[in-house]
Structure 1
């Protein structure tokens, strides 16, 4: 079961990595997609002004996508692999139910990657 969840996570990361750039998504009006991409990649949420630089931003759609992506990213079952891949953790999972476990698993992977 864990392998299946991990496979879904990896596939979702690949899809996001291969998706259109933020500018292309903004031109299409896909603010949800931009938010999801930021969340699933463990980035901090963008401010309204940062979104406006891409175009006529829909902040509600961006935030909805961001929360969805962040929920997937902050799964502690994948934190070890994120750290092992050398991805820096920006603290975006703090305040979530599994924040401490996520941080510990990420740190374990991070230590092994360096």
Structure 2
């Protein structure tokens, strides 16, 4: 875990990027970027209806970006810090190879931040 401490300052801002980032991505038509943003933050995947409220949604591009973001988010090496930061885990890693390790590390961090 020690070897990953240098990466935490790079990862944490991605987890808490503001909603205005989504608006800018939608304005550019970057639905893959919107999906990646949701995935890297550990958010539950949005429905087509929810995306359509932002604009003319491209669900395929959104899903592609979301999958990439979730893959990075679900790295168990960062799960402890995510829990420690107080970020609630929405279960997006369930079904992945490292799901159990991620949840255990997240829970350890979550329990320590209380």
TM-score range, shorter chain: 0.7 to 0.9
**Residues of 1 paired with 2:11 and 2:110: CA distance?**
21
**Residues of 2 paired with 1:50 and 1:18: CA distance?**
17
Superposition CA RMSD, Å: 2.0
Which consecutive segments of 4 or more residues in structure 1 shift more than 3 A? 5-10
- Residues 30-109 of structure 1 aligned to structure 2 (within 5 Å): 30-109=30-109
8 Å CA contact retained: 2:35, 2:63: yes
* Unpaired runs of at least 5, structure 2: none
**Residues of 2 paired with 1:38 and 1:9: CA distance?**
18
| 1:29 pairs with 2:20 | no
- Residues 4-15 of structure 1 aligned to structure 2 (within 5 Å): 5-8=4-7, 10-15=9-14
**Residues of 2 paired with 1:40 and 1:9: CA distance?**
13
Bigger shift: 53-62 or 21-30? 21-30
**Residues of 1 paired with 2:41 and 2:112: CA distance?**
20
8 Å CA contact retained: 1:13, 1:40: no
Could you report, residue by residue, the CA deviation over 1:29-62 in whole angstroms, capped at 9, with x for unpaired residues?
0101110010000000000111111111111111
**Residues of 2 paired with 1:45 and 1:91: CA distance?**
11
Paired positions, count = 113
